[in-house]
Chain A
Amino acid sequence: MTRKTIIVACGTGIATSTVVAEKITEACKKENLHVNIIQCKVTEIKGYAENADLIVTTTILKDNFGKKSINALSLITGIGEEKVLEEIISELKK
């Protein structure tokens, strides 16, 4: 089975994206999914988008480079967190 690649991006590529990346990693572990996570700034997505299967951001994404994208703001606020994590996992299982 090929590993899926997820881009996790926010404004800094460090702050909120770290929180989201950790939560996705944990959720994937539970599901026994092996994925590559690329963590970066929104302005850097362009450079990684080609090889990505999914783009997850905590900020506004203007151009999703033809890839599926999910807004993960709720992983930061904690409101509706489960639903978004489920959405991400089901996308990765495809």
Chain B
Amino acid sequence: MSVIKYLLDLGAVVMLPIIIFVLGLILGEKPGKAFRSALTIGIGFIGINLVIGLLVNNLGPAAQAMVKNMGVKLNVIDVGWPASSAIAFASKVGAFVIPLGLAINIIMLATRLTKTVNVDFWNYWHFAFTGALVAVATGNLTLGLIAAAINAAIVLKLADWTAKMVQDFYGLPGISLPHGFSAAYVPIAIPLNKLIDKIPYINKIEADPDTINKKFGIFGEPVVLGLILGLILGILAKFDAKTTLNLGMSMAGVMFLMPRMVKILMEGLIPISEAAKSFMQKRFAGKEFYIGLDSAVAVGHPAAISTALILVPITILIAVILPGNNVLPFGDLATIPFMVAMIAPITRGNVFRSVIIGAIVIGVGLLIATNVAPLLTQAATDAAFKFPNGASQISSICDGANPLTWIILKIMYLF
């Protein structure tokens, strides 16, 4: 056990490459290839660390100046899912999440508790994220691992439950979406949609995705969005022109660079996930199983895109006016399509309804994200992500605002 403890205490940049190397060898990779992907993963972490620094160092002072000038207390920076996923994988729970998630999936397949063969190993980070928060909150790694396992099991059930609907709506035969973030909104969206059915007039409204895509297209380009938000924040913070322009450019840079860094992390994970995928397919491929994929395969749908585009300005507005919210939406404004990916099929592509449901879950989500900010900041620090002294707290919409994550966290906190 002391060997494991020593490994875990090495920090993510060293620990994860070692674990990935060993996991690669177990799954039958050649040592050279396993070594290269292990190194790549470590490098991905270093890159993400740099970009988080760029974000927090620039946006932090602006957010604090804005609090002083405007009285709008948005001093928790939304670092976005790329950073959150890295924090999750770099956590002590993250080190075990792929074998753990795989084991849960195999057990549930063997006992016929699920039909979904979840080959989307990348998104196991959502389970690790829940586990990491629980581990930080309780100080107990075992409880963290249990939380991650429960999260994985629930998401598989949600994927099964929505499979038919997703297959019909998105035209993806044989697929289900066991996505920790997208699937979490299903149990909320279904009753809300039924409620809207009962409201006269409102239940007849429909919006045209094409017009919306044309008018709101700019919100689909993260780089431009980053630039504009940076400039606006600079102005609200009453920075001089030079600092404001630099803030705008830095934020455009963060929007561009952060995903690139995560891509490095992904590249390192590909050989592992390919090996695990063929392992799963050999045993469970066939007619009666769904293949569980990333909801990235669904977010190209016009209804999902246009809903997400409208929700970008709405999210910022809610963040400003909602009492009790301290989160400044930024990194995850580009992640909203994933929030609506499984809401859109429930409303049968009705953009108006999806926007209403989306706005409600975002409002609640911002409060949850505010609530978990201290835990997430602690988890990030534990994972060796560096923050300047006295910097703002961090949170994220994905998964900091995830209701399923939060419920599991609160339940585990009772133990």
Contact = CB atoms under 8 A, between A and B. Distances in A.
Contact of A60 (B170, B174, B217): B170
Interface string B195-236: 000000000000000000000010011100000000000000
B221 A18 contact: no
A59 B267 contact: no
Interface stretch (B67-75, B135-143, B290-298, B317-325): B290-298
Interface in B276-301: 277-278, 281, 285, 291, 293-301
B35 interface: no
Interface in A18-58: 18-19, 22, 39, 41-44, 46-47, 57-58
A49 B300 CA distance: 16
B131 interface: no
A41 B259 CA distance: 11
B337 interface: yes
Contacts of A16: 293-294, 296-297
Nearest to A62: B302
A77 interface: yes
B220 A76 contact: no
Contacts of B277: 78
B262 interface: yes
Contact of B270 (A12, A18, A44, A73): A18
A44 B294 CA distance: 19
B245 to A, nearest CB: 23
Given A11-B296, A12-B296, A59-B296, A78 B281 contact: yes
Interface string B65-84: 00000000000000000100
B263 A42 contact: no
B229 to A, nearest CB: 17
B122 interface: yes
A47 B122 CA distance: 27
B175 A14 contact: no
Nearest to B305: A43
Contact of A12 (B221, B259, B267): B259
B263 A10 contact: no
Given A43-B220, A78-B277, A15 B294 contact: yes
Nearest to B209: A62
Nearest to B122: A15
B172 interface: yes
A79 interface: yes
A60 B299 CA distance: 8
Given A16-B294, A44-B220, A44-B221, A77 B266 contact: no
B300 A59 contact: yes
Nearest to B263: A14
A47 B221 contact: yes
A60 B338 CA distance: 14
Given A15-B122, A77-B174, A42 B297 contact: no
B281 A14 contact: no
A39 B262 CA distance: 13
Contact of B295 (A11, A13, A62, A79): A11
A61 interface: yes
Contacts of A62: 300-302
Contacts of A73: 172, 175, 293, 297
Contacts of B361: none
B261 to A, nearest CB: 10
Interface of B: 82, 119, 122-123, 170-172, 174-175, 217, 220-222, 259, 262-263, 266-267, 270, 277-278, 281, 285, 291, 293-302, 305, 337-338, 341
22 contacts: A11-B294, A11-B300, A11-B337, A14-B263, A14-B266, A15-B123, A15-B266, A16-B294, A17-B296, A19-B266, A19-B270, A42-B305, A43-B217, A43-B221, A59-B297, A59-B299, A59-B300, A59-B301, A60-B301, A76-B293, A76-B297, A78-B277
Given A12-B259, A43-B220, A59-B299, 10 more contacts: A11-B295, A11-B299, A16-B294, A18-B266, A58-B296, A62-B301, A76-B297, A78-B277, A78-B291, A79-B174
Nearest first, the 10 closest Cβ-Cβ pairs linking A and B are A59-B300, A43-B220, A11-B296, A11-B299, A60-B300, A42-B300, A10-B296, A18-B266, A15-B296, A77-B291
